Amino acid sequence: MPQTTGAMQPWQHGPLGRALIAAEAQLLATTFDDVFGQELLQLGTWGAGRELLAPSRIRRQSVVAEPGTGAIAGDMVANLAHLPISSGTVDAVLLPHTLEYAPDPYAVLREADRVLVAEGQLIVLGFRPASFWGLRSAAARDGYPPGLRRRLGSTRVHDWLGLLSYEIVSVRRYLYHLPRTPRGTLEVTVPRMLHRGWFYPWPAAAYVIKARKRVYTMTPIRPRLRERRTVLGGLVEPSV
């Protein structure tokens, strides 16, 4: 997963990358409002350290980096499709554009589902293909942001979550900003990314999906007992 290799790391530290990550951290501050538990896991590195996890009230937070990315912000390095984590031990999982960089995004999604507890929450950030960012990514040789080659719409992610029996809690679009270097400061650019305005009427270029893991237990259906005849009812009446 090339989030931190090549041109990606300089891009994240550039004006547009820093503004986008700051906007997503602010967006997640409201997304994490009803996310509780003991363990919060971020799969894939996006940004520096735990800036995306900082708004969460869950104290025990971990970031898993993909091998070969050279990431120094991760707490552990592991194949995201084969995590060294026990099943059903994590209360919430954050996938910040992880599926778009993963060689097998559905395998990563299934692994996130495996480690989640019942009623655990899954949060997915992604770029919309039908946007100016999606068009630039399709036209760029190395994708855009750099290294991003797969563009997953919210509809496809929604379908995958449906196959895994997830309940979609909310879907919110954001990033009303063209894929170019912002002219203003972070304080000016971040609100423009999160809210459409008169000077930024462009369609949203990204989305955040929050879903809850539903586990349906099967209720066994007991076979009906055959009606037993009473002793008197079983006697043969004497013939006249």
Whether domain 8-217 has CATH 3.40.50.150: the reply is yes
Note the pLDDT of residue 222. Answer: 60
Note the pLDDT of residue 183. Answer: 85
Global pTM reads 0.85
Cα separation, 18 vs 67, whole angstroms: 24
Cα separation, 107 vs 1, whole angstroms: 13
* DSSP letters spanning 174-195: E--S-SS--SS-HHHHHHHHHS
Tens-place pLDDT, residues 80-129? 999 999 999 999 999 999 999 899 999 999 999 999 999 999 999 999 99
Q: Which residue(s) pair with 188 in the sheet?
A: none
At 161, list the tokens. Answer: 């979550």
Q: Where are the chain's structural domains?
A: 8-217
| pLDDT higher at 65 or 200 | 65
Alpha helices in the chain (DSSP H): 8-13, 15-31, 98-101, 105-115, 132-139, 154-163, 186-194, 231-234
How far is it between the farthest Cα atoms of the chain? 110
CA dihedral 8→116→86→105, nearest 10 degrees, is -40
